[in-house]
Structure 1
Amino acid sequence: MTITAPATQTPVPPPPVAGTFVLDAAATAAALPYPALADAIEALMRDDTVVVPPRLVQPLPGGGSLFVMPTADATLAITKLITFVADNPARGLPAIQGDIVVFDARDGRRLGLLDGPTVTARRTAAVSLLAARRLAHRRDGPLLIVGAGVQGRAHLEAFAAGLGVRAVRVASRSRASADALVRHAQALGLDAQRVDDADAALADCPLVVSCTSAQAVALRARPRADAFVAAVGAFTPRMVEWAPDVCRHLAATGTLVVDTRDADHEAGDLLQAGLDVTALPTLADVVRDTPAWRRARRDDGPVLFKSCGWAGWDLAAARCVLGGPTA
């Protein structure tokens, strides 16, 4: 059966046993409210039964990539199959396409399908929300979003729903895209403005999300001393959003946290800055309050959270949809 979103956007959890569910993009979004998804992600990082092998990245002839990302816990198994083609928007196509297949880990039954791009957008923003909950010195904003695509919209919604942000500034290479995101923010009741100089806007914004296509450096100024930065766009060694000298400044004066150990070989911003990513604590270290986090944490200075992506977040989304553990 296919489950579509009701008019009220009330989450519709699919039946875990009777039949196979297929959630379209709208129903997938409705089933994954950002605060609940952030809770599910935090719960997953406390679960020692979760197994996430390295993801397979297959280059495609046109310059894109096919990602194959399996993971499992004691009850669920998933495989995420998505393609990423950076220049697809110029063709009128989404940059990310694909699905997430959900299985019962005990008997192998296929339980259903989730919309891959929707899960990717929402779980990435929910991870940033969780990191901000844990690490941000100030949560009131204004929030600066650099990059007005799918992730810009998802992070806007996540920070509004999960942190109560009421003011947002949007910067993008495309004025039309920035204006569209500003209108969306205003429709949500936020004070929203387009800014044409992202570097200058950093001085006024204690919350920053960079989610550009990461094909070139987009930010060269230093964030505020009390800033929380979620750097999202660069998820391969060759991609970059933040200038290397800014990353080195943040490492010297503040706290750097990566989403998972996969960032050791994927965090383009930090790798191109010559930083030892392997020495940085992960978000799981923060959640679990490990010695690695206690050694690295500072009570002052800016915080940079580097997000690269991980199939575990997709498993957390499947748990959230199916009403699994969230605490």
Structure 2
Amino acid sequence: MTTIPLTAAETTSRLPYPALAEELSALLADPQVVVPARLEHPLPGGASLFVMPANDGAVAITKLITFTPANAGSRRPTIQGDVVVFDIATGTRQLVLDGPTVTARRTAAVSLLAAQRLAPRRDGPLLIVGAGVQGLSHLEAFAAGLGVREVWINSRSAASAEALADHARGLGLDARVVDDAQAALAHCPLVVTATPASAAVLDAPPREDAFIAAVGAFTPRMVELGAAMCHDIARRGRVVVDTRDAEHEAGDLLQAGMDVAALPALADVVRGNCPRPAGPVLFKSCGWAGWDLAAARLAVRATG
């Protein structure tokens, strides 16, 4: 059987954000889900190959992704690859999804699910730091799933920031570009950091009702948030990680010297073991093949 890889647009059409967030929640309650540790294989020139398998009782996937930091600023994306989906009962390859599209949408949907469960205030304004692919996907996810109507955008690239602001306006949102992300923290209860993560981009204390989704740093060597900020949020509110894998991957928290193993994960939140706290919330997301499995499950149903 020949399975033609879906285009980015075809993959997008099968993964609407509210439905994907619901599927992520359902996956966390599914006892048949198995997710081995992902393989990160270093490549010459600072690139990496990620191999990420997962399965439930009916579907098995492997996500194959290259991460090439040297592509930043060029026409080539930094993340490329595919998600291959198999039917377990027959061994048949069912779908080949566009990998970067799955990564962008499931990452934003994970942040959306966390915000739905944990954000003290969900109406915004939303501050997005980083106007790349993840900035765009989080903008769309929070607008579709939380009803956010106002967004503030900060980026090292003025052109990228203006382009994302124009996209937001095209969705009917109020959008502005801001030069000082630290100062914007005082005005925005929702925050997403989605940067190349070579150094801390935020280190000021956030609002008491802040929800921060930090998604740019997904290896121990990467960092977006300053150590003082991480400790301040832990003291006044709560820090939650996406999965237990963050114990080895959450660069922001590890470099801050925090005991990541002691932090609650999103599964604890979904299962009712981590109620919405008082004070600010930091949701640290590093990625997990289980999120790709949830996207595959939803895409298979949408295709079938």
TM over 0.5: yes
CA distance in 1, matches of 2:38, 2:147: 34
2:113 is equivalent to residue 130 of structure 1 = yes
**Could you tell me how far apart the structure 1 residues matched to 2:59 and 2:154 are?**
39
How many angstroms apart in 2 are the aligned matches of 1:112 and 1:125?
22
Give SS of 1:213's match: coil
Residue 237 of structure 1 is matched in structure 2 by 220
Q: Once structures 1 and 2 are overlaid, which stretch shifts more, 170-179 or 88-97?
A: 88-97
Residue 6 of structure 1 corresponds to none
Letter in 2 for 1:106: A
CA contact (8 A) 1:83 1:96 kept: yes
Letter in 2 for 1:306: K
1:187-224 CA-partner distances (Å, limit 9, x unpaired): 10100000000000000000000000101111121110
Hey, what's the Cα distance between the residues in 2 that align with 1:21 and 1:263? 34
Gaps of 5+ in 2: none
How far apart, in 1, do the equivalents of 2:257 and 2:171 lie?
A: 40
Q: How does 1:157-176 map to 2 (within 5 A)?
A: 157-176=140-159
Query: 2:95 touches 2:300 (CA, 8 Å); kept in 1?
Result: no
Equivalent residue number for residue 284 of structure 2 = 306
Q: Partners of 2:156 and 2:205 in 1: how far apart? A: 19
Task: Kindly report which structure 2 residues correspond to 1:19-30, keeping only aligned pairs within 5 A, or say none.
Answer: 20-30=3-13
Percent identical across equivalent pairs? 68
For the Cα contact (< 8 Å) 2:243–2:267, is it kept in 1? yes
What is the Cα deviation at residue 21 of structure 1? 4.9
TM-score between the two structures when normalised by the length of structure 2: 0.97
The residue correspondences of 1:146-295 to structure 2 (distance < 5 A) are: 146-290=129-273, 293=274
* Count of equivalent residues: 302
Q: What's 1:34 paired with?
A: 17
Question: Is contact 1:88–1:94 with CA below 8 Å preserved after alignment?
Answer: yes
Measured in 1, the distance between the counterparts of 2:206 and 2:48 equals 32
> SS of the residue aligned with 2:69?
coil
Instruction: Report the alpha carbon displacement of residue 153 of structure 1 after superposing the two structures with TM.
Output: 0.1
Which residue in 1 is equivalent to 2:73?
90
Q: Which amino acid aligns with 2:31?
A: D
Partner residue in 2 for 1:51: 34
TM-score, with normalisation over the residues of structure 1?
A: 0.90
SS in 2 for 1:317: helix
Q: Is the 1:123–1:314 contact (alpha carbons within 8 Å) kept by the matching residues of 2?
A: yes
* CA distance in structure 1 between the partners assigned to 2:95 and 2:144 by the alignment: 28
CA deviations 1:278-306 (Å, max 9, x no partner) are: 0001000000113xx36xx63x1100000
- Equivalent residue of 1:22, what SS? coil
Q: Shift of the alpha carbon at 1:108?
A: 1.3
- Counterparts of 1:200 and 1:60 in 2: how far apart (Å)? 39
Counterpart of 2:5 in 1: which secondary structure?
strand
Alpha-carbon distance, 1:88 to partner: 0.5
Q: Any idea what the Cα deviations from partners look like across 1:75-114, whole Å, max 9, x if unmatched? A: 0000000001123133321010000100011221111200
Shift of 1:62: 1.1
Tell me if structure 2 keeps the 8 A contact 1:53–1:70: yes
Contact 1:148/1:170 (<8 A) preserved: yes
SS in 2 for 1:67: strand
Measured against aligned partners, the alpha-carbon deviations of 1:9-53 in whole angstroms (never above 9, x if no partner) come to xxxxxxxxx963531100100110000000000000000100000
Asked if 2 retains the 8 angstrom alpha-carbon contact of 1:231 and 1:304, the reply is yes
Report if the CA contact (8 A) 1:21-1:111 is conserved: no
Unaligned runs of 5+ in 1: 1-17
* Structure-2 residue corresponding to 1:76: 59
Matched-pair contact (CA < 8 Å) for 1:19–1:111: no
> Which is further off, 264-273 or 20-29?
20-29
